[in-house]
Structures are given as C-alpha cells and as structure tokens.
Amino acid sequence: MTRSYSLDLRERVARFVEEGGSCHAAAAHFGVSVSFAVKLMAAFRRSGSLKAKPEGGWRYSKLDPHRDFLIGRVAEKDDITMPELAAELAGHGTVVAPSSISRWLIRNGYRFKKNAAGQRTGPIGRRRRTPGLDGQAGEDAA
C-alpha cells in the first residue's frame, strides 16, 4: 500500500506555490506528480491544513441500516436468492446490486453451502442404469 507524502514535503510544495510558482513548476522541482501539487493546493486553500487524510478505517455500507430486515429474511427463507433480496430492498427504497448483498452477508458471518459435503449434485435428468446392463449380462448367459 502506498504511503502519504511527508508533511515536510507538503509544506515545501505549498510554500513554493504560495511564493508565486505554479503547481506544474512545483511538481517538477520536487519530483512529485502535477495532480498531487494541484490537489494539495486545492485542499490547502479549502481547509488551511496540509496534513494527509487518514487512511483505512471502517467503511459505511448502505445495507447496515437494513441489518434486521436482511438477517430476518435469510433466517425466514434460507434458500432466498440475492436478486430476490435486492428486489425486496428496492421495495423499501434501497437500490443495491445482488453482489453487494452477498458480500455484506459474508462480511457479517453468513455463509451458505448447497449441501453438507460441499459436493455438486448431479444433473436433474440423470437416471440410474437399468439392472443387468452394466456388464453383468455375460453371467446370465452362461
């Protein structure tokens, strides 16, 4: 993960621009990108601070306020699909992608496996072989 530029470098870039230099010239002089110099000066003029924004931390999810509803629906109908949940949430006024609901459920400790063994089931139309046709016909003829 990248790190923020030091406060010392930020102060030098800002001082260079405040003394009449351009953001492009400051970027070339200090070996930083032009976008960094432009964004730094815009934030400095807006807030008066040169400190970097905090990194990481907790992210807000628009599904958090619907926690009770989602957990209740999953408990009520354990084979509900994500598109069904998304449609029900849309009825409550929250439009969200089915994949977002899936990630939210996983992040909150809910996982669902198709069967206990974790094995795939066979196709719906699969049939068993007729008795006597699986290689034992030779024994009956003898």
- Which sequence spans correspond to the domains of the chain? 7-47, 64-107
Q: Which amino acid is at 122?
A: G
Does residue 91 register a pLDDT over 70? yes
Q: Please say if the pLDDT value at position 141 is more than 60.
A: no
CA atoms within 13 A on the CB side of 60: 2
Percentage of the chain lying above the pLDDT 90 cut:
54
pLDDT of residue 117: 58
How far is the C-alpha of 1 from the C-alpha of 134, rounded, in Å? 60
pLDDT (mean) for 27-56: 93
Give the per-residue pLDDT at 127.
Answer: 60
**pLDDT, tens digit, 9 for 90 and up, residues 1-11:** 578 999 999 99
Phi first, then psi: give them for residue 101, nearest 5 degrees.
-65, -40
pLDDT band at 54 (very low <50, low <70, confident <90, very high): confident
Q: How far apart are CA 13 and CA 93, in angstroms?
A: 46
Is it the case that residue 142 has pLDDT exceeding 60?
no
Q: What is the 3-state secondary structure (H, E, C) of the chain?
A: CCCCCCHHHHHHHHHHHHCCCCHHHHHHHHCCCHHHHHHHHHHHHHHCCCCCCCCCCCCCCCCHHHHHHHHHHHHHCCCCCHHHHHHHHHHCCCCCCHHHHHHHHHHCCCCCCCCCCCCCCCCCCCCCCCCCCCCCHHHHHC
pTM: 0.45
In this predicted structure, the answer to whether residue 118 has a pLDDT above a threshold of 60 is no
